[in-house]
């Protein structure tokens, strides 16, 4: 008996049935991969089934479904199994007229058309003996509706993974952008906390600079009038004017001379020196503030770590002085360190601010020391503040964790600090005892490579 191809079978049987387009986030079902393969009755002889595999309409199939009269699938016969039988000596003669049920796989993989591609892939991995030789059966309400190719499932999974990979890449880019904005926001928040104090720091030298300039201007004005009067008297004498006119001019010179205090003229040089000192202080504050806030130092470059520490101390000076904290600065000899200076400044300022805020008593003391140890630069910042409770020590580097009152911090300072130091190839460590204080140690390789700008 010869079994003819089903009339509904298309010329290219390997093309899955088209299903309505699904949303990107919706699970793909096997119905999109269904092939309307005509089933083979269980009593069909082996030779007729082999003839089906030779038909061009079945060229894309690895297996044919064996379906009972009630529509229930009972097995599958693979192209590979028939080839193995017919290659045996007398295989055609021994099996050719037997029903296909004697050779079929009695436990094929049967899946519902509503099964998702992901679940189908897992079922294939668990049940199909050879994915390159077997297909599987699709059913709906327990009745046969078609077959599907393992390779089509694998292609669908691959496409889905590619889509997810693209989504993850986009999410990663968004995350990096958000991270950069968060780091900059934390930096600007820290900078904002410093502004009020820095205004006071700048106003102090600016006040006496203004006072000195006004005093110097008054002295110079009197001296200028005296010089003009002296010149007029000299011109009168040399020009042959009458004695009365010359005497009048000399009297004016004497009057102006008495107004000009010689001691005030002597003090003018000291006033100018004091003014230059005040202007220098303002300049230092502005430069340190600029170095802390600028973004064009995000790349790695050689920097003097001691200079960065000194800069951070100047920026934080108003907090330290306001709280009456003694700072013991112990700079060691350090070679230049390859780092992103603006980022390291942010870390140092954050640690100094935290140390100052942890001191709630008089006689506060912060030790800041730098050392070079075995090819690494080390910065130690130690306070004698209230310390950190043991249950919080494991969480201090967690994002958004803070023990400060509401409004005194975002909880991102130490998390960002650790991220910055680790991206420099370094490490940051902490030890603390309640009531005795906290010590932070920052270690940086002298030849750091900044892997990612934080």
Residue 16 covered by a domain = no
**Who has greater pLDDT, 319 or 236?**
319
Q: Pinpoint the alpha helices (H) of 294-370.
A: 305-315, 317-322, 341-358
Instruction: List the CATH number of the domain containing 311.
Output: 3.30.565.10
pLDDT digits (tens, 9 = 90+) for 57-73: 787 788 899 999 999 99
Question: Taking all residues of the chain, what is their mean pLDDT, rounded to a whole number?
Answer: 78
Q: According to the model, what pLDDT value does residue 411 have? A: 52
Q: Which of 209-213, 224-228, 304-308, 371-375 has the lowest mean pLDDT?
A: 224-228
The answer as to whether 12 is a domain residue is no
Residues 141, 219, single domain; the answer is no
CA 4/CA 55 separation, integer angstroms: 9
Q: Are residues 312 and 418 in the same domain?
A: yes
Cα-based distances in Å from 315 to 34, 199, 342: 70, 11, 13
Angle at 183 between CA 356 and CA 377, to 5 degrees: 60
Question: 371 and 349, same structural domain?
Answer: yes
Are 237 and 322 in the same domain? no
In a domain, 73, yes or no: yes
Please report which confidence band the pLDDT of residue 382 belongs to, taking 50, 70 and 90 as the band edges: very high
pLDDT cut 70: percent of the chain above it: 70
The domain boundary residue, chosen from 102, 127, 148: 148
More confident residue, 282 or 116: 116
pLDDT tens, position by position, 7-61: 333 333 444 544 444 444 455 688 888 898 899 999 999 999 999 988 887 877 8
- Are 419 and 285 members of one domain? no
Nearest of 64, 62, 46, 45 to residue 6 by alpha carbon: 64
0.75 exceeded by the pTM? no
Judge whether residue 378 has pLDDT over 70: yes
Name the token pair of 328: 């013991």
Residue 41, domain extent: 30-148
Average pLDDT over residues 350-369: 89
The residue that leads in pLDDT, 34 or 266, is 34
Whether 334 and 352 map to the same domain: the answer is yes
Here the CATH number for the domain that contains residue 76 is 3.10.580.10
- Over residues 282-296, the mean pLDDT reads 64
Q: Is 307 found in the same domain as 279?
A: no
Domain membership flag for residue 394 = yes
Residues 112 and 235 in one domain: no
Q: What is the pLDDT of residue 22?
A: 47
Q: List pLDDT tens digits, range 303-335.
A: 899 999 998 888 888 888 888 899 999 999 999
The total number of residues written for the chain in this structure:
454
Residue 443 has pLDDT above 90, yes or no: yes
Cα 293 to the center of its chain, rounded Å:
19
Q: Which residues is 379 bridged to in the sheet?
A: 370, 442
- Tally the domains of the chain: 3
- The mean pLDDT value for 345-366 works out to 88
Mean pLDDT of 358-381: 91
Distance CA 41, CA 48 (A): 11
In a domain, 419, yes or no: yes
* Selected residue with higher pLDDT from 322 and 348: 348
Same domain, 287 and 298: no
Residue 397 placed within a domain: yes
Q: What whole-number percentage of the chain has pLDDT above 90?
A: 24
Helix (H, G, I), strand (E, B) or coil at 142: coil
Taking CA atoms, 213 is separated from 271, 272, 273, 377, in Å, by 8, 8, 11, 45
Both 106 and 143 in a single domain? Answer: yes
Answer yes or no: is 24 within a domain.
no
Q: Does 320 lie in the same domain as 402?
A: yes
User: Predicted confidence band at 269 (pLDDT cuts at 50, 70, 90)?
Assistant: confident
Domain stops at, among 293, 325, 358: 293
Q: Are residues 421 and 345 in the same domain?
A: yes
Final residue before a domain boundary, out of 239, 272, 293: 293
How far is it, in rounded angstroms, from Cα 221 to Cα 228?
Answer: 11
* Strands (E) located in 384-447: 427-433, 437-445
Q: Give the pLDDT score at 5.
A: 42
Q: How far is residue 451's CA from residue 313's CA, in Å, rounded to a whole number?
A: 27
Name the β-bridge partners of 381: 368, 440
For residue 234, tell me if it sits in a domain: yes
Residue 14 has what pLDDT? 43
């Amino acid at each position: 008996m010869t079994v003819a191809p089903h009339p509904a079978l298309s010329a290219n049987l390997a093309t899955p049935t088209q299903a309505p387009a699904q949303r990107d986030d919706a699970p793909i079902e096997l119905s999109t991969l269904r092939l309307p393969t005509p089933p083979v009755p269980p009593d069909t002889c082996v030779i007729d089934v082999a003839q089906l595999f030779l038909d061009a309409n079945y060229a894309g199939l690895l297996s044919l479904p064996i379906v009972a009269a009630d529509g229930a699938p009972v097995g599958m016969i693979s192209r590979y199994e028939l080839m193995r039988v017919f290659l045996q000596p007398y295989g055609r003669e021994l099996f050719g007229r037997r029903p296909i049920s004697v050779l079929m796989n009695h436990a094929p993989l049967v899946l519902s058309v509503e099964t998702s591609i992901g679940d189908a892939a897992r079922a294939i991995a668990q049940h199909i003996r050879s994915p390159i030789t077997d297909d599987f059966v699709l059913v709906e309400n327990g009745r046969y509706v078609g077959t599907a190719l393992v390779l089509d499932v694998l292609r669908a999974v691959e496409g889905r993974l590619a889509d997810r990979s693209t989504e993850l890449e986009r999410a990663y880019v968004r995350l990096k952008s958000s991270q950069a904005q968060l780091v900059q926001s934390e930096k600007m928040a820290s900078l904002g906390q410093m502004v009020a104090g820095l205004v006071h720091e700048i106003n102090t030298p600016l006040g006496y600079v203004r006072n000195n300039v006004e005093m110097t201007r008054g002295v110079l004005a009197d001296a200028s009038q005296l010089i003009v009067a002296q010149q007029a008297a000299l011109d009168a004498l040399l020009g042959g004017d009458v004695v009365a006119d010359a005497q009048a001019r000399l009297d004016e010179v004497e009057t102006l001379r008495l107004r000009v205090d010689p001691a005030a003229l002597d003090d003018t040089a000291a006033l100018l020196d004091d003014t230059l000192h005040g202007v220098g202080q303002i300049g230092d504050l502005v430069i340190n503030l600029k170095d802390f806030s600028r973004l064009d130092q995000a790349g790695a470059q050689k920097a003097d770590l001691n200079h960065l520490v000194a800069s951070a101390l100047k920026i934080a000076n108003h907090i330290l002085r306001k709280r009456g904290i003694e700072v013991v600065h112990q700079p060691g000899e350090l070679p230049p360190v390859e780092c992103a200076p603006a980022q390291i400044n942010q870390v140092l300022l954050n640690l100094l601010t935290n140390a100052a805020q942890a001191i709630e008593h008089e006689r506060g003391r912060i030790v800041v020391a730098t050392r070079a140890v075995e090819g690494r630069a080390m910065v130690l910042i130690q306070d004698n503040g209230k310390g950190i409770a043991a249950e919080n020590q494991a969480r201090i580097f967690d994002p958004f964790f803070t023990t400060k009152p509401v409004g005194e911090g975002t909880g991102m300072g130490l998390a960002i600090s650790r991220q910055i130091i680790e991206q420099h190839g370094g490490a940051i460590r902490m030890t603390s005892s309640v009531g005795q204080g906290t010590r932070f140690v920052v270690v940086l390789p002298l030849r750091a490579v900044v892997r990612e700008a934080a």
